[in-house]
Amino acid sequence: RIGVCYFPEHWPRERWETDVQQMVEAGIDVVRMAEFSWGRIEPERGEFDFEWLDTAVSLLGDAGIDVVLCTPTATPPKWLVDEHPEILQVEPDGTTREFGSRRHYCFNSGVYREESARIAREMTERYADVDAVVGWQTDNEYGCHETVRCYCEDCAAAFREWCRERYDDVDSLNETWGTAFWSQQHGSFAEVDPPRHTAAEHHPSRLLDYARFATESVVDYNDLQAEIIREANDEWFVTHNFMGHFDTLDSFSVGDSLDFATWDSYPTGFAQDRNTEAVTDDRLRAGDPDQVSLNHDLYRGPDGFWVMEQQPGDVNWPPRCPQPGEGAMRLWAHQAVAHGANVVSYFRWRRCRQGQEQYHAGLRKHDGSPDRGYGDASRAAAEFAELGELDGVDAPVALCFSYEDLWALSEQPHAPEFDYWGLVGSFYRALRARGIQVDVVDVSPGADIHLDGYEAVVAPTVHLADESLAGQFEAYVADGGSLLVGPRTGYKLPGNRLQPDLAPGPFADLVGGRVDQHESLPSSVETRLSYRGEEYGYRTWAEWLAPDGGTAVGEYTTGVAAGRPAILEHAVGDGSVTYCGVWPEEDLADALLVGLLDRADVSHAERFPETVRVTPRDGYVWILNFGADPVDIDVGSEAAWHVGDSSIPGFGVGVVEAGLADVSIT
Amino acid sequence: RIGVCYFPEHWPRERWETDVQQMVEAGIDVVRMAEFSWGRIEPERGEFDFEWLDTAVSLLGDAGIDVVLCTPTATPPKWLVDEHPEILQVEPDGTTREFGSRRHYCFNSGVYREESARIAREMTERYADVDAVVGWQTDNEYGCHETVRCYCEDCAAAFREWCRERYDDVDSLNETWGTAFWSQQHGSFAEVDPPRHTAAEHHPSRLLDYARFATESVVDYNDLQAEIIREANDEWFVTHNFMGHFDTLDSFSVGDSLDFATWDSYPTGFAQDRNTEAVTDDRLRAGDPDQVSLNHDLYRGPDGFWVMEQQPGDVNWPPRCPQPGEGAMRLWAHQAVAHGANVVSYFRWRRCRQGQEQYHAGLRKHDGSPDRGYGDASRAAAEFAELGELDGVDAPVALCFSYEDLWALSEQPHAPEFDYWGLVGSFYRALRARGIQVDVVDVSPGADIHLDGYEAVVAPTVHLADESLAGQFEAYVADGGSLLVGPRTGYKLPGNRLQPDLAPGPFADLVGGRVDQHESLPSSVETRLSYRGEEYGYRTWAEWLAPDGGTAVGEYTTGVAAGRPAILEHAVGDGSVTYCGVWPEEDLADALLVGLLDRADVSHAERFPETVRVTPRDGYVWILNFGADPVDIDVGSEAAWHVGDSSIPGFGVGVVEAGLADVSIT
Amino acid sequence: RIGVCYFPEHWPRERWETDVQQMVEAGIDVVRMAEFSWGRIEPERGEFDFEWLDTAVSLLGDAGIDVVLCTPTATPPKWLVDEHPEILQVEPDGTTREFGSRRHYCFNSGVYREESARIAREMTERYADVDAVVGWQTDNEYGCHETVRCYCEDCAAAFREWCRERYDDVDSLNETWGTAFWSQQHGSFAEVDPPRHTAAEHHPSRLLDYARFATESVVDYNDLQAEIIREANDEWFVTHNFMGHFDTLDSFSVGDSLDFATWDSYPTGFAQDRNTEAVTDDRLRAGDPDQVSLNHDLYRGPDGFWVMEQQPGDVNWPPRCPQPGEGAMRLWAHQAVAHGANVVSYFRWRRCRQGQEQYHAGLRKHDGSPDRGYGDASRAAAEFAELGELDGVDAPVALCFSYEDLWALSEQPHAPEFDYWGLVGSFYRALRARGIQVDVVDVSPGADIHLDGYEAVVAPTVHLADESLAGQFEAYVADGGSLLVGPRTGYKLPGNRLQPDLAPGPFADLVGGRVDQHESLPSSVETRLSYRGEEYGYRTWAEWLAPDGGTAVGEYTTGVAAGRPAILEHAVGDGSVTYCGVWPEEDLADALLVGLLDRADVSHAERFPETVRVTPRDGYVWILNFGADPVDIDVGSEAAWHVGDSSIPGFGVGVVEAGLADVSIT
Ligand SMILES: [Zn+2]
Ligand SMILES: [Zn+2]
Ligand SMILES: [Zn+2]
């Protein structure tokens, strides 16, 4: 289904009926509204004006369109800030984040929690019996603009309380963190502060716990809203629109209190501003397909997911803002559906004539005429209607992911280039190049991971680990599973202290060896290894392995490391494990992956170039062309094409009934 | 005339007579003094010591030298700061700008306005009847070191008052800014704050109004001083020394209360620290000629202008400080005069032995001996005396400029490379390469622009616009004018909201089309178009045009844009308009310009290389060589050379009686 | 002797005996402890727990190991910070440097001085009669993380007092600084502030005096501790561990109250994070040998020096953390000894499992097994035992160095590339390439310099100077000395004002000329000169010289400077001076040096490539290979090799009885 984000409050009422009619014509049947509307709904304390929203909801409902409403808490209005300046966030150096953009409130402000509950109650009670409203989005993009972590006094108090609950007595905190280093012992929980500005780097254990605390503050804040929404009408779904490739918020945790997750997908922006790889011409026009798909898979739950905001054309916030390739807005919608999206909702209906996002396109231009995305969205809507209801994604491979690992590694990357997303992305890209559908599994310490159903498991790293976590992997392998594990695994205890033993700590028995040494390296150094007789490149990180039970199947060929083991294989029970002690370059990642898939008997495609992605769902295979050049596909002459045909134009799409292994580029 | 900036307070009194005598020998007949002398004049509150300045003024006066005095308000002394720390400026994050350099005061401090008036009255009354004193410079380089905009409480109060006066009621502010976006409505003027530190970007309309407010604060502050000066002696002129290539101060506005403008010209510094183009060897030695000339033309008024501070040799503040080319200090003086300068005053008489600028040369070295600039200045003085009184500059072409456009575009550049000065400079450089003299015309919203006298008008962009502004351009063209308009024109209303219609909004009828799409592009992308059968390059910004009445004379040949119109021509009334939807590379700018000049029947030179500039004034043509290599000029054998001859050495000058079109490089 | 830094407080007591036994096995006979132990020793105010340290000291003492204890003042514990937050340092913009890392205290806090004295007394009294304790290290790495300079109110008050003591009356301060510039006069010492955040650059004289004041604050603070230590037991030595290549602390001044200096040497880190030169593969693996040796020579006193912390393997803080070359940890120990080290003490015994430095290796891994450095350290210990007691270093050449020059030049570098360490390093590298041992001599204004014993003196610059300082150089030369002086010499008075005369001011008679002009240049400009018939390159800085008595032996061949003198030679009395007006590239530095050494009749080696260094001490020559490739040495067949032989492997060492001039690469 195709949706759109709509801001009636930005436009004259006379226009609304036209808008709704044009939505219907485009095949749009979901509309999100009101996420920044607090100032319009409550222009001064206690004076509510819902009439405009009532009207908009009923116009949409009359047209058969489902409405998703939002709590408007991402933008507390100025009168509230002036009344209670203590709700504002504070930087590590004590500077206040003032009113004038958005997300200026602190999640731990007691005053703001009350105010949030008050406005949420007002809104949800008003629409509790309105049929057109089918569910709610809480707030908007929690944490955008680096606002998960705040350093105000309310946060300091809440962090102390959080530590008290987690550790019970302060000696336990001291022991878990390891505060004997540099005289960082705390005599009581009252002595614990947020990690504010210091002369040198912070204690990594304090940083990690502050990251956890900050995420949990959002969870608590979100729970408060979710509860109020469900109190008003327990048939409503509750969701939130997460961001893409986002670091500071553990979306698994927040997701626990949602019915399903949604996220905001801006491919050409992400390719520029949060990608460690080169910005090619094709990525400028259609994004990095694997970067986007990884987020689809990350947010997909048992009931799928939505793209709540889909890039509609050119946007305002990346370094440069090229026009997307011809048809790219349709391509992205197909990509989302291939990865299990139930709704693809474009942001936004119409380019806005005011404020910070005037340079951000909509499906319609600011004069109301159709913009480039309108045709793309309409075409996608028609094609999805044609394809009908689809089964969910059936992924043979699990990809392990942990926000806590991300945090720990970003505190101590050991090289500017060591980026968690980049490491995970290297393994993920290799899987996608072979057309494999992937489920993303949370492997944070304490997680209860379910690997049973998967033919193979890929863990780019499992950095923080205890015996329990390692045990779950062992059980999976012993039971016949095939596992590929990457570097820096098992280095740290959950408290962000080194394991008592050498890495991979509790994984040592499983992988059949230990890490003798590690090093981080600049790109100026030649870094190569041999794996099963072929030479490959690696980057940034290297471990010198000492096999103990496992077999060295790769060894370094350059530098001080030359001759030392780099990759191990180990048969355990009915299964097997490959441990890769480096960050692999693309060819090595593919070689490791193909080895894993073959051992696990997982069918895969030939290796596609990055600009072409093949993705199976429900008996169909989507062929998605993220390049400007056309591509000819060979899938057998009798295959049934439901969208397009074997000649896929630049930025085009084909959907064919076929098996993954049958599709190739001619 | 040649002048110099003199600081007798830095040197022993015994030396002053020698100094004056050497000035006379050099042909210097204007001296500026006292702009940082408050601490010397009033060492403690109410204790004045004018005796030293009396002496210096009378020594100069006796030698027949005109004296320009300055109010010393750019450097409030420490005792005043300690008495009233509230006069200090404040950063957006709340940090105070402390005593210890200069320009630490806030323009909106009521206390400081009183103190400024007090010291200005003391000084002007003292010299009211001294004949040697011919005029005053207010303060010094308003806004230097990014000090136009302050974020203190006095500024907050003044901004609220400014908003109240501009908008009268707060709903009008809300509507003009467009505060329905992100709940940024204000319930009263008391709720309006300066744009201090926020989590994300500010509302562009708030930013633009703060920029206007800040400039007007300087205007008010300057008016206060100008009034006091004129009260003391209404035959004095009042001026101020502006900076070059400076963003945050609208010099047109400040200029309204001055008799004429002066500015401070440091060619080799500007070429390094505020130029988006490459720093070539020649630019290191003699500056970028067009960058300097643009500022001459910008500050030139009906009565010309002065260079109040002319670079005298090596300076201290650019990244590196090479020695200027041999003779460059004379070259710059000629350049200034060719562009209409009445006085070229070198900064400064002698290298200083104390404080922040010890690495800044003067006409004399710090031991008193002549420095490189002394000979250059003396030679220029003699040559100007020879040439005698000159008529003002007669410019056939107007170049449109708007500080408000500069501010709006720097808030939302849409690409790091999109720089207003750079865009204007591209068109200006093309004009200068053809020897055209240019008047710079203020086209800010609300400006009353006078285009009537010009053969042709070049508007690199007119970004903020209303019907009235567009109407003035239409009238000019309808009346037979020739107009060239660049990209991003007519995008926004004066309040920094998008126009209701597609760009160029109120200019659409005039240019004969609209902007269908725009995009910003990194330099890695190939960006070319064809114009009248030739291929040319463009950069950074591209608009896909939809002709409506106009004719597409250029179209894209690369990228997603290929095949779409890029340049329009439109005949309107007795005139014609060219609309260029891209930032043109040099060859394209030249081709567009030559087309314009030919249509307008403006005589021009052949296209000179950047290091050679030809400039007509009063029947003479200056040939200025900004390169290290000599240049031979062909201007006909009977042409009369008043300075130099047809062989112009590196960094040399020739002045010849000739027509612009007759001059060429052999 | 080989030592190690040991943190028993990080490990279970059961392990300590094993640790001590393994130390003995490695040949370690010095152990440093307790520098960050305050929180462990005094967990709450007045509650002391020394039992653990007593135990550790006695275990070590029983094993025959000397113990160096430290005052633990680098890390005041949280309870103390909470009690007295006013002890925290403050940034120039007013932000507090909070608890959470280390070095958060202000040297001028009266409260903290009392607390420091209290804990120092407690500790020193406790161990006054313990034989195993042989001496003390005060605090730890004064100034690390840029903490020499603090901007708090205590510092403001102390700075005012310091100025009063230095200048007696405020007019003298005004005159010495030159505050007539920009109205910076002070009416009283109460008006003097630290150089906090300002709109533009600070007065260079204020900055320089603040740098002096800050260093002297550390001196005073250190004196306080040294006195307490000596009071407890006057047979103890007192030392401090300085950092390498460190700017803000004058180690000569601090050193005055120490028995000898020690420093902390991390070659592969320094090569990356504080070296202006390229990071080659070899430097990543073994550091830049000359950068490290310069620090050895800088800290070496009449009684030698210690390396208190020697890099033990990979470390955590440089941008990237490669594994050192095979044997590099032994190589560095030999290098230190060749330069006069009495003890080389590795940091640290065992990789830590907690806190900020978990990614920093020790001699043992964190599981207790031997790490790479353990074997290297053991081998070095055995080799040093074999070599026996050695005479001190006998250096024929003095290299002039001044922290005050460093500060003055870093405030006004005049080019981003102008780096004092880099300039000094260029001359030092040329000396080291020829195998010359060098003493580093303090030539700050006011220093009493002893040049008499040296065959030759190299002064890369003597920037701040008065007649007295210049006179000492003149006396040296007149007496037959050979002197080489570099650029920017004699520019400034000690107060950081230009000399009354042209540079080199008081050195003009000595060098036989003056500086007519100077310029700083980007690397894009071609910069060459001819010296005695050969062409050479220079960089960054150039002076155009005017000989007056001296002879021009070098002149510029490129740019505006072409044809002007660049290098002077001058015979004075029985000696001679070469003045070099540029920053020389390597070949020119070598040519100048060889000229100097030949004139002074100093024997030197052939010119070695950077990765091979030959160093004489006590009849031996060390051949140190800092490259991965092996090197064959020719030193005559009968030469006695005490360590290694003529085939030196990559990162290997040879020690041979020979003369410097006899050693060459085959
Ligand atoms: Zn907070
Ligand atoms: Zn202010
Ligand atoms: Zn302090």
B245, two tokens = 């290539």
pLDDT at residue B374, rounded to an integer: 98
User: How many angstroms separate the CA atoms of A125 and A131, rounded?
Assistant: 13
And the tokens for A598? 């073959």
Tell me whether residues A521 and C43 touch, CB distance under 8 A. no
Q: What's the confidence (pLDDT) of residue A277?
A: 86
Report how far ligand 3's centroid is from the alpha carbon of C196 (Å).
Answer: 12
Residue C491 has pLDDT above 90, yes or no: yes
Question: Could you say which ligand is closest to the alpha carbon of residue B151?
Answer: 2
Taken as a whole, chain A contains a residue count of 666
* Residue C546 sits at the chain B interface (C-beta within 8 Å): no
B141 counts as catalytic: yes
pLDDT tens for residues B569-578? 999 999 999 9
Considering chain B, what is the average pLDDT of its residues?
97
| pLDDT at residue B255 is higher than 90 | no
DSSP 8-class letter at A641: E
Residue C241 identity: N
Task: List the one residue out of C603, C604, C605, C593 whose CA is nearest residue C483.
Answer: C593
**CATH code reported for the domain at B2-147+234-387:** 3.20.20.80
Which one is catalytic: A35, A42, A141, A569? A141
Pairwise CB contact (< 8 Å): A279 & B522: yes
What distance in Å separates the CA atoms of residue C585 and residue C529, rounded to the nearest whole number? 11
pLDDT at A637: 82
Which chain A residue shows the shortest CA-CA distance from B188?
A79
Q: What is the pLDDT of residue C320?
A: 96
Interchain contact, B365 vs C199, CB within 8 Å: no
Neighbours of chain C (3+ CB pairs under 8 A): A, B
Ligand nearest to the CA of A88: 1
Q: Please check the confidence at residue B277 and state whether its pLDDT lies above 90.
A: no
Answer whether B314 sits within 8 Å of C501, measured CB to CB: no
Tens digit of each residue's pLDDT (9 = 90 or more) over C552-561 = 999 999 999 9
Q: Given a cut of 90, is residue B228 above it in pLDDT?
A: yes
Q: Cβ contacts (< 8 Å) between C517 and chain B: which residues?
A: 314, 323, 372
Say if CB C290 and CB C428 are below 8 A apart: yes
Distance CA B222, CA B258 (A): 9
Kindly indicate the confidence band of residue B46, based on its pLDDT and cuts at 50, 70 and 90.
very high
Which ligand lies nearest to the CA atom of residue C155 in the structure?
3
Per-residue confidence (pLDDT) for residue A450, from 0 to 100: 86
| A288-317: average pLDDT | 97
Are C320 and A522 an interchain contact pair (Cβ–Cβ within 8 Å)? yes
Tell me the two tokens of residue C68.
């160096």
B-C interface: how many C-beta pairs under 8 angstroms?
Answer: 166
Q: Which residues of A touch B520 (CB under 8 A)?
A: 320-322
Residue window 379-408, chain B: list those with CB within 8 Å of chain A. Answer: none
Query: Mean pLDDT across chain C, nearest whole number?
Result: 97
Query: A interface mutation test: which of B153, B171, B184, B203 has the most A CBs within 10 A?
Result: B184
CATH of domain A2-148+216-387: 3.20.20.80
**A507 min Cα distance to partner chain B (Å):** 41
Q: Is B666 exposed, middle or buried (0-12, 13-18, 19+ CB in 10 A)?
A: exposed
**DSSP for A506-561, written as a single string:** GGHHHHTEEEEEEEE--TTS--EEEETTEEEEEEEEEEEEEESSSEEEEEE-SSTT
- Domain borders along chain B are 2-147+234-387, 397-600, 612-665
Nearest by CB to residue A198, choosing from C98, C319, C321, is: C98
pLDDT tens sequence across A514-568: 999 999 999 999 999 999 999 999 999 999 999 999 999 999 999 999 999 999 9
Nearest ligand by distance to the CA of B88: 2
Determine whether the interchain pair B356/C203 forms a contact, defined as Cβ–Cβ distance below 8 Å. yes
The verdict on B157 touching A (C-beta cutoff 8 Å) is no
Q: How confident is the model at residue A276 (pLDDT cuts 50, 70, 90)?
A: confident
Burial class (CB in 10 A: 0-12, 13-18, 19+), A389: exposed
Nearest C-alpha of chain C: how many angstroms from A173?
Answer: 12
Give the angle B348-B351-B356 at the CA atoms, nearest 5°.
Answer: 95
pLDDT in tens, B424-456: 999 999 999 999 999 999 999 999 898 999 999
Beta-carbon separation of C180 and B325 below 8 A: no
B342 touches chain C (CB under 8 A): no
- pLDDT surpassing 90 at residue B637: no
Spell out which residues of chain C touch residue A519, defining contact as CB-CB under 8 Å.
314, 321-323
What is the number of the ligand closest to the CA of C107? 3
What pLDDT shows up at residue B174?
Answer: 98
The fold of the C612-665 domain, in CATH, is Immunoglobulin-like (2.60.40)
Banded model confidence at residue C583, pLDDT cuts 50, 70, 90: very high
Query: Taking CB atoms and an 8 Å limit, are A199 and C101 in contact across chains?
Result: yes
Subunits in contact with chain A (3 or more CB pairs closer than 8 Å): B, C
How many Cβ atoms sit within 10 Å of the Cβ of residue B117? 16
Choose between C568 and A447: higher pLDDT. Answer: C568
Average pLDDT over residues C430-444: 98
For position A328, what pLDDT does the model report? 98
Question: According to the model, what pLDDT value does residue C446 have?
Answer: 92
Residue C516 pLDDT more than 90? yes
Specify the pLDDT at position C515.
Answer: 98
Whether residue B196 and residue A98 make contact (CB cut-off 8 A), yes or no, is yes
Instruction: Looking at the complex, report in whole angstroms how far the Cα of residue C12 sits from the nearest Cα belonging to chain A.
Output: 12
Of C184, C498, C519, the CB nearest to B314: C519
pLDDT at C277 > cutoff 90: no
- Inform me whether the C-beta atom of residue B171 falls under 8 Å from chain A C-beta atoms: no
- A279 to chain B, any CB pair closer than 8 A? The answer is yes
Annotated active-site residue in C35, C115, C216, C309: C309
What is the C-alpha to C-alpha distance for residues A293 and A305, in angstroms, rounded to an integer?
12
**pLDDT tens across C348-407, in order?**
999 999 999 999 999 999 999 999 999 999 999 999 999 999 999 999 999 999 999 999
> pLDDT tens digit string along B115-142?
999 999 999 999 999 999 999 999 999 9
Nearest CA in chain A to C314: A519
Q: Which of residues 457-486 of A touch C (CB under 8 A)?
A: none
Which residues from chain B sit within 8 angstroms of residue A99, using beta carbons?
193, 198
> Region B394-420: what's the mean pLDDT?
97
- Put simply, whether C25 touches B (Cβ < 8 Å) is no
Q: Which pLDDT value is given to residue C638?
A: 87
User: Average pLDDT, stretch C568-577?
Assistant: 98
What is the reported pLDDT for A113?
98
Q: How many CB atoms lie within 10 A of CB C226?
A: 23
ipTM: 0.97
E-strand ranges in A25-132 read 28-33, 66-70
A356 with B181: Cβ contact below 8 A: yes
Instruction: Calculate the average pLDDT of chain A.
Output: 97
Q: What is the mean pLDDT of the segment spanning A347-366?
A: 98
Local structure of B476: helix, strand or coil:
helix
Q: With 90 as the cut, is the pLDDT of residue B213 above it? A: yes
Indicate the pLDDT class of residue C237, thresholds 50, 70 and 90: very high
Query: What would the pLDDT profile of A384-403 be if each residue is shown by its tens digit?
Result: 999 999 999 999 999 999 99
What's the confidence (pLDDT) of residue A167?
98
CATH architecture of the domain covering C397-600: 3-Layer(aba) Sandwich (3.40)
Range B611-633 average pLDDT: 98
Measured between alpha carbons, how far is A3 from A27 in angstroms, rounded to an integer?
A: 9
Instruction: Kindly state whether B145 is in contact with chain C, defined as any CB-CB distance less than 8 angstroms.
Output: yes
Residue of B320, B331, B351, B357 to mutate for C, most C C-beta atoms under 10 A: B320
Chains interfacing with B (3 or more CB pairs < 8 Å): A, C
pLDDT digits (tens, 9 = 90+) for B525-545: 999 999 999 999 999 999 999
Cα–Cα dist B254/B256, whole Å: 5
Whether A195 and chain C come into contact, CB under 8 Å, resolves to yes
Q: What integer is the mean pLDDT of C268-276?
A: 93
DSSP helix/strand/coil, A417? coil
In this prediction, what percent of chain B has a pLDDT beyond 70? 100
Q: Is the pLDDT of residue B275 over 90?
A: no
B309 is known as an active-site residue: yes
Cβ contacts of C98 on chain A, cutoff 8 Å: 193, 196-198
CB contact under 8 A, C182 and B75: yes
Residues of B in contact with C545 (CB under 8 A): none
Chain B residues in contact with C502 (beta carbon < 8 A): 365-367, 369
Residues in A closer than 8 angstroms to C39, CB to CB, are 179-180, 183-185
Q: What stretches of B6-102 adopt beta strand conformation (E)?
A: 28-33, 66-70
* Residue A47 in contact with partner chain C when CB distance is under 8 A: no
The pLDDT-based confidence of B276 (bands split at 50, 70, 90) is: confident
Q: Left (φ > 0), alpha (ψ -120 to 50) or beta: where does B539 sit?
A: beta
Segment C61-81, tens digit of pLDDT? 999 999 999 999 999 999 999
Find the catalytic residue in A35, A115, A309, A610. Answer: A309
- Mean local confidence (pLDDT), C80-92: 98
